[in-house]
Each structure stands twice: as C-alpha cells, then as structure tokens.
A and B are shown apart, each in its own frame.
Chain A
Amino acid sequence: MENIIVDARGHQCPVPVVMTIKALEGVKGPCTVETHVDNETAVQNVTRLAGSRGFPVTSEKLAADHFVIYMQAPQPASGPSGEPRAEEIVCAPDRRGSTVVAVTTDSMGHGNEELGKTLMKGFLYALSQLEELPKTILFYNGGAKLTTEGSLSLEDLRSMEAQGVKILTCGTCLNFYGLTEKLAVGEVTNMYSIVETLAGADKIIKP
C-alpha cells in the first residue's frame, strides 16, 4: 500500500488540512497518509478531515512540537469535482476544556476487579470520544498501569495526547510498580505538579 508523507510543520491552520487534501487528490488507490504537524489544534483539524471522509485515523505525539496523524484512505479521495469540500477546510477551536481527570486505579469502582478493569477501559474510550476533551489526565497509584506497555488503553490515550491532552503519570508510582522504563504515553510527573493540577482545575472527574 502506498504511504504518503505530508510535512506540514511550521504551518498554521488551515494549511495542514489543505496540504493533506492535496496529497489525497494525487493518490491512485488505497494508501496511508501521514501528516506531520507541530501543534495540537492542527492534529484535531486533520483528524476531523479524516472523520468527515470516513477514514480510519490515529495520531500520536512524537515530541513537544512534532505530532503525526495517520489516516487510511481506501480509495482516491477527492470530492466529486476534485476540489476540496469547503466544509473540510475549517479551523475549529481547540477541543480541550479545563477539566482534569484523576485516574487513581486501573479498575473502575469497587466490587469485581475484572469487571472494574473492563469498565475503566470503557471509560477511557468514552473520554476520548467527548466533544470537549479534558485538559489533563493524571494517573497515580494503580492508575499508573494504564499508561505503560501492555495497557489496552494506549491507543485512546495517545490519540488524546496528540490532540493536546496532557497525560501525566506519577513517577513515585511507576517506580513502586517497577514500571519506570515501561511508560508508553505522556510524561512523568511529581506530587507538586499533581497537587497544582488538581488545585487549579475547574472540575475534577475521578472514575
């Protein structure tokens, strides 16, 4: 399958969206388009473009100023006239709100642990589908297991991170569980930052 790379770093909206549309116009068959951008809002807008065309899309943060959106185009994807559809070239406002989510365990609620783990995976998936994403998600104590290798929630968390959600995991907790080297998404944080984040939040959700 053809793989097209669009480097839109250094460009502000709507240029990354327009560059991606132009790349899609040139394809002859199924292909993967990788769009590289340098800000979270561009990730959201290019992701929205993929959604408007019904293409599977994922995204990840490679560095503080480097994000990549992968979309799979099953067929040549230009509009009927070959021109980009006007509604696709939009600069929507940032999807992030000011809510902080505190994940304190890898199991949601009390009772059966296996059920709790299933519920927590469902919670993080549903969180990633919100129209207004949280500003920050904090993971501490058992919650630290969700941001490390082997977690089934990594895809949801990486997608939210690429759209600008801060994913912060307690370093003390990673150390305690022997997971320091296994962090797979977001950054390590400490108790001062955790307290500041919680204290500065407009609203805190604790699943």
Chain B
Amino acid sequence: MRPRLLRLIVSFHTTTAAMAMERYCLENAVPGRLIPIPREITAGCGMAWSAPPEEKDTVLRAAEGGEIEIAGTYVLEI
C-alpha cells in the first residue's frame, strides 16, 4: 500500500475558485497544494486544496483574505 496521510481538504464550488486559491496561497506562502478532489468527498470532478490539518486556521484565513468561497472542509487520510 502506498502511504496515506491525514490531510485537511478544502473544496470549492467552482474550478476557478480552486485555481484562485492556488494563486493566492502561492503568492502568500500559505502551506498546501492543489490536488484532484479525493473520491471520499465526491465522485465528481474537481480540484481541492490539501494541507496539513494543523494549518486549518491559516488556510481558512487565506481563503477569506483572497475572498474565495469554500464549499467544505474535511480531514481525511489520503
């Protein structure tokens, strides 16, 4: 089995919001990265922000700072 790690996953209503989140986070050195949204969250297609769970406050503040609407937050092993 490949290693599975506990990660914070932030989902968005639109792909453009996910891409805006990536831009904002890279510019502001916010931890995490964009990944395809895990199947455990939705069977649909989309991108999500993945970060260490302990960075939740920083990530949520970044979304607020970038005026990016979040659809949901999850902590799961991926």
- Residue numbers of A with Cβ under 8 A of B are 47-48, 50-52, 54-57, 95, 114-115, 118, 121-122, 125-126, 129-131, 152
Contacts and interface: CB of A to CB of B under 8 A. Distances in A.
Interface of B: 1-6, 15, 18-19, 22, 33-36, 47, 52, 77-78
B11 to A, nearest CB: 14
| Prevailing SS type, chain A contact patch | helix
Contact of A115 (B3, B6, B19): B19
A96 to B, nearest CB: 13
B36 A52 contact: no
A109 B18 CA distance: 18
A130 B3 CA distance: 11
B35 A52 contact: no
A118 B34 contact: yes
User: Binding site of B, secondary structure by majority: helix, strand, loop or mixed?
Assistant: mixed
A48 B3 contact: yes
Contacts of B34: 118, 121-122
Interface centre among B2, B19, B78 (most CB of A within 10 A): B2
A131 B47 CA distance: 21
A48 B2 contact: yes
B52 A56 contact: yes
A129 B6 contact: no
Contacts of B33: 125, 152
